[in-house]
């Protein structure tokens, strides 16, 4: 009969895990829930349209319309739960002003046009520019909200057809620092752990991440873990008290940019107090030092090389000697004793420690360094590659992983961790794409900030923007658009030909020469990849409105007109194209499953080997590529050794001074997704959070004569807006700091942000610049 005890225990554990959180999901609500029983509703699954958690959603369609959505109880990610944005998905696509026809700007007005007219115009502009100025005069700005195939289509046309690497995604603005550190530490992008670590660990240290609002369903998993296991500790390190802090066991405030000092001090104590795992270090790591006194990206066309120099462990220890807790306390404000305590938590052999982070760490002028420093703590203590203890880089967008990072929609990238600068990588790609050798350019395209600077300078003449809103989300907006115009009025101040594909009018469509109406979410078939490497598929469930079309169709129509239609010969488009893309992943440790596998499952975490997903990369017994007996093996890193980088403290790009005496930090909140083009059109979400306010510390406000709800003028060296002050808001900034959420299209706070960026990742620092506030 062969039922082993092991199988029995596994099965019991699975049953318990489901029962614990999901039990009440099984009990239908007592009051008035008729939806589930209603006739005529056809249900299907899709990953949520919003954040990088990647909850699964059941979508109910009736009469050609989405009439309901539910948290999917069968998903291991969210087990029946959504956050409030997810619960209102059925309304997000039905705003009154949905774009339904192509529009061309004629004599300053947007005039409806046919698809042929719009596409012919775009093609002629692209052709002209390529002929006169070369292929690098055109560009595509894409998105971590692109489906996998939308990203693949764009990359194949631009890199494999036109022959330019001028494709970069908005993920440059959110995850680039994380990617930089994955690559320079482990030789391969994306986490080694997964969401199972949220259930199996006992210590969760959050670095500048307001998970309760930005990754709500994952925070619920942590809270749930703690409910079941009272020894679980959640420690929230941040520059501002939030809902996350409220529910954490400890809130530890630090001064902006101080993470760079704090993390070094913690490593110092781990070395000082012998909390490191020598055997693990010897077997799995090397030490390195990079280029220091790095620039901040404030000059156009600035270049930077992070040149690695090897160190011995002793040399590393010597370099770490000055980074004492007392030294760090002066910079970051965390008491030295507390830093020592944190080091002892990281080094505690009885604790399964996880670090979690997103934008506080990534949107940072030294973001790649901060990522490196977090990995250092886990590499020094050996708390990595083991179930329940891992560093987990949380992803912001639904498919920054699956599309932008895995397909390689960056200026320097190709699929499966490959880069355009490497001739072998170009060769592999050209073969799979069936394009002539030498088609792919070895010259990396510009990163997002540089791309729009190039548009501003006139070096890029044609740019196509899909599925993102850069003219609200870029830092230092007034460089790229007319300041102070009303939403919906023309704002372009350059000569570039700008095409924007979107589903609603946005602050970017008002810059466009051509606006193309796109299908959204379940109006097309698609695949997303979430934070934990889970690839999830959905089928098309409803028709897009009016003449709206898929972004892939739009790009292929341009391809045909540019003579590159032969790049897209597929009959069964989604399946054939995915299978072509999948070839890049086979054998790399990022293996994807055959396309049809994803139809029925609630996603699978790659690498998928012989139909089995991988929960923990680099871990023996879980990752098929790990050598027998190796335990933890970073097989993608050179010599299979992860890099522990020495990174010094260097100051922020701009700090408060007597003219601009306060810090400005920007970010997100629960009710709205990014620039709120979707959530802002859901009445309940708009009512709950109608406008962005500036959170000010009461003492700072008092000194300026400002009371709660007063109108204030907020100014930086780059821009100035009027908005409402809040002294007792949702978040409580520390004294000297302020916070504004960037979702509000009438309060474009990014006009004030500085376009300084991490020299390695090129990701801008949205968390730190200097402002002044005056009562209006």
Which member of 111, 227, 279, 437 binds another protein (CB under 8 A)?
Answer: 227
To the query of whether residue 85 is one of the catalytic residues in this protein, the response is yes
Name which of 386, 357, 387 is nearest 372 in CA terms: 357
Question: Smallest gap, in angstroms, from Cβ of residue 734 to another protein?
Answer: 17
Cα–Cα distance, 567 to 86 (Å, whole number) = 36
To the query of whether residue 577 is one of the catalytic residues in this protein, the response is no
Positive or negative, the CA dihedral 766, 769, 775, 776 is: negative
CB 633 within 8 A of CB 76: no
Look up residue 21 and give its two tokens.
């959180």
Backbone angles phi, psi at 378, to 5 degrees: -75, -35
Question: Smallest gap, in angstroms, from Cβ of residue 622 to another protein?
Answer: 15
Site string for another protein, 503-522 (x = CB under 8 A): --------------------
Question: Smallest gap, in angstroms, from Cβ of residue 737 to another protein?
Answer: 18
Site string for another protein, 380-419 (x = CB under 8 A): ----------------------------------------
Question: Smallest gap, in angstroms, from Cβ of residue 140 to another protein?
Answer: 35
Interaction between residue 672 and another protein (CB under 8 A): no
Which member of 8, 423, 627, 707 binds another protein (CB under 8 A)?
Answer: 8
Interaction between residue 131 and another protein (CB under 8 A): no
Question: Smallest gap, in angstroms, from Cβ of residue 727 to another protein?
Answer: 11
Cα–Cα distance, 66 to 37 (Å, whole number) = 16
Which of 48, 83, 174, 451 is an active site residue? 174
Interaction between residue 687 and another protein (CB under 8 A): yes
Question: Smallest gap, in angstroms, from Cβ of residue 92 to another protein?
Answer: 13
Calculate the alpha carbon distances from 340 to 257, 412, 514, 564 in Å.
Answer: 19, 40, 57, 60
DSSP string of 368-402?
HHHHHHHHHHHHHHT-SSBTTB-EEE---STTIII
CB 406 within 8 A of CB 529: yes
Interaction between residue 601 and another protein (CB under 8 A): yes
Question: Smallest gap, in angstroms, from Cβ of residue 694 to another protein?
Answer: 15
Q: Which is nearer to another protein, 50 or 296 (CB)?
A: 50
Q: Give me the helices (H) in 614-734, please.
A: 683-688, 698-703
Cα–Cα distance, 600 to 390 (Å, whole number) = 29
Q: Could you give the maximum distance between any two Cα atoms of the chain, in Å?
A: 80
Cα–Cα distance, 696 to 728 (Å, whole number) = 8
Interaction between residue 610 and another protein (CB under 8 A): no
Q: Which is nearer to another protein, 217 or 706 (CB)?
A: 217
Name residues contacting another protein, limited to 9-48 (CB under 8 A): 11-12, 14-15, 17-19, 21-22, 24-31, 33, 35-37, 41-45
Interaction between residue 303 and another protein (CB under 8 A): no
To the query of whether residue 547 is one of the catalytic residues in this protein, the response is no
Interaction between residue 72 and another protein (CB under 8 A): yes
Interaction between residue 586 and another protein (CB under 8 A): no
Which member of 67, 133, 233, 247 binds another protein (CB under 8 A)?
Answer: 247
DSSP string of 507-545?
TTGGG-SEEEEB--GGGS-EEEE-TTSEEEEE---SPPS
Q: Which is nearer to another protein, 249 or 684 (CB)?
A: 684
Which member of 48, 50, 54, 60 binds another protein (CB under 8 A)?
Answer: 60
Q: Which is nearer to another protein, 87 or 673 (CB)?
A: 87
Q: Which is nearer to another protein, 228 or 443 (CB)?
A: 228
CB 721 within 8 A of CB 732: no
Q: Which is nearer to another protein, 30 or 132 (CB)?
A: 30
Cα–Cα distance, 269 to 286 (Å, whole number) = 19
Q: Which is nearer to another protein, 80 or 151 (CB)?
A: 80
- Of 2-10, 164-172, 255-263, 289-297: span binding another protein (CB under 8 A): 2-10
To the query of whether residue 359 is one of the catalytic residues in this protein, the response is yes
CB 444 within 8 A of CB 412: yes
Calculate the alpha carbon distances from 446 to 180, 411, 442, 762 in Å.
Answer: 16, 6, 13, 10
Q: What share of the chain is helix, strand, coil (3-state, %, to 5)?
A: 35, 20, 45
Interaction between residue 71 and another protein (CB under 8 A): yes
Interaction between residue 600 and another protein (CB under 8 A): yes
Interaction between residue 729 and another protein (CB under 8 A): yes
444: which DSSP letter? P
How many residues form the binding site for another protein (CB under 8 A)? 75
Which member of 62, 67, 84, 344 binds another protein (CB under 8 A)?
Answer: 84
To the query of whether residue 151 is one of the catalytic residues in this protein, the response is no
Cα–Cα distance, 155 to 408 (Å, whole number) = 8
Name which of 551, 657, 698, 530 is nearest 604 in CA terms: 530
Interaction between residue 6 and another protein (CB under 8 A): no
Interaction between residue 307 and another protein (CB under 8 A): no
CB 714 within 8 A of CB 752: yes
- Of 384-392, 424-432, 467-475, 600-608: span binding another protein (CB under 8 A): 600-608
DSSP string of 690-723?
-S-EEEE-HHHHHHTT--TT-EEEEE-SS-EEEE
- Indicate which residues carry an active-site annotation: 85, 174-175, 359, 396-397
């Amino acid at each position: 009969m062969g039922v082993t005890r092991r199988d029995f225990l596994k099965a019991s554990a699975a049953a318990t895990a489901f029962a614990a959180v999901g039990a009440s999901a099984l009990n239908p609500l007592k009051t008035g829930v008729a939806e589930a029983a209603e006739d005529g509703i056809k249900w299907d699954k899709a990953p949520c349209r919003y954040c990088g958690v990647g909850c699964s959603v059941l979508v109910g369609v009736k009469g050609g319309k989405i009439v309901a959505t539910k948290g999917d109880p069968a998903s291991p990610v969210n087990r029946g739960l959504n956050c409030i944005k997810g619960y209102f998905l059925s309304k997000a696509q039905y705003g009154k002003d949905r774009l339904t026809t192509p529009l061309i700007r004629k004599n300053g007005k947007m005039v409806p046009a046919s698809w042929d007219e719009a596409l012919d115009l775009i093609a002629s502009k692209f052709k002209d520019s390529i002929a006169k100025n070369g292929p690098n005069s055109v560009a595509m700005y894409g998105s971590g909200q692109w489906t996998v195939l939308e990203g693949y289509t764009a990359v194949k046309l631009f890199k494999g057809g036109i022959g330019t690497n001028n494709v970069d995604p908005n993920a440059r603005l959110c995850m680039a620092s994380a990617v930089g550190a994955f690559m320079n530490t482990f030789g391969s992008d994306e986490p080694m752990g997964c969401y199972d670590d949220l259930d199996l660990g006992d210590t969760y240290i959050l670095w500048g991440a307001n998970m309760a609002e930005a990754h709500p369903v994952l925070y619920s998993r942590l809270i749930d873990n703690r409910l079941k296991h009272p020894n679980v500790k959640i420690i929230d390190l941040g520059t501002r008290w939030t809902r996350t802090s409220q529910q954490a066991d400890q809130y530890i405030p630090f001064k902006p940019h101080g993470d760079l000092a704090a993390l070094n001090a913690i490593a110092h104590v781990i070395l000082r107090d012998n909390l490191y795992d020598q055997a693990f270090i010897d077997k799995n790591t090397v030490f390195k030092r990079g280029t220091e006194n790095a620039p901040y990206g404030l000059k156009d066309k600035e270049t930077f090389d992070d040149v690695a120099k090897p160190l011995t462990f002793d040399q590393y220890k010597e370099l770490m000697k000055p980074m004492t807790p007392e030294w760090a306390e002066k910079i970051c404000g965390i008491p030295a004793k507390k830093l020592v305590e944190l080091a002892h938590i990281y080094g505690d052999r009885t604790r399964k420690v996880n670090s979690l982070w997103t934008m506080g760490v990534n949107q940072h002028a030294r973001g790649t360094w901060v990522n490196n420093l977090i990995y250092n703590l886990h590499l020094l203590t050996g708390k990595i590659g083991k179930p329940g203890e891992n560093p987990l880089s949380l992803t912001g967008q639904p498919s920054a992983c699956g599309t932008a990072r895995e397909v390689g929609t960056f200026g320097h990238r190709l699929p499966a961790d490959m880069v355009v600068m490497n001739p072998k990588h170009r060769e592999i790609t050209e073969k799979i794409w069936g394009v002539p050798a030498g088609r792919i350019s070895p010259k990396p395209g510009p990163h997002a900030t540089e791309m729009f600077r190039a548009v501003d300078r006139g070096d890029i003449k044609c740019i196509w923007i899909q599925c993102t809103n850069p003219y609200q989300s870029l830092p230092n907006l007034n460089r790229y658009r007319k300041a102070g115009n009303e939403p919906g009025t023309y704002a372009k101040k350059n000569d570039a030909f700008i095409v924007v594909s979107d589903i609603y009018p946005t602050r970017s469509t008002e810059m466009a020469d051509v606006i193309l109406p796109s299908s959204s979410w379940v109006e097309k078939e698609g695949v997303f990849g979430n934070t934990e490497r889970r690839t999830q598929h959905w089928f098309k469930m409803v028709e897009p409105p009016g003449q709206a079309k898929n972004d892939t169709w739009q790009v292929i129509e341009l391809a045909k007109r540019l003579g590159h239609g032969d790049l897209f010969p597929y009959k069964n488009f989604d399946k054939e194209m995915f299978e072509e893309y999948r070839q890049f992943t086979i054998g790399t440790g990022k293996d994807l499953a055959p396309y049809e596998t994803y139809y029925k499952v609630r996603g699978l975490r790659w690498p998928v080997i012989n139909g089995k997903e991988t929960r923990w990369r680099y871990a023996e017994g879980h990752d098929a590529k790990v050598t027998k007996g190796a335990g933890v093996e970073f097989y993608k890193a050179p010599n299979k050794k992860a890099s522990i980088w020495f990174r010094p403290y260097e100051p922020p790009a701009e700090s408060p001074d007597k003219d601009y005496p306060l810090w400005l930090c920007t970010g997100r909140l629960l009710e709205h997704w990014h620039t709120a083009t979707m959530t802002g059109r859901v009445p309940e979400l708009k009512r709950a959070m109608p406008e962005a306010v500036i959170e000010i510390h009461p003492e700072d406000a008092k000194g300026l004569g400002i009371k709660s709800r007063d109108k204030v003028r907020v100014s930086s060296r780059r821009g100035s807006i009027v908005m409402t002050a809040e002294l007792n808001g949702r978040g409580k900034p520390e004294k000297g700091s302020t916070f504004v959420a960037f979702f509000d299209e009438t309060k474009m706070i990014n006009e004030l942000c500085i376009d300084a960026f991490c020299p390695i990742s090129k990701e801008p620092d949205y968390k730190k610049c200097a402002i002044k506030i005056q009562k209006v």
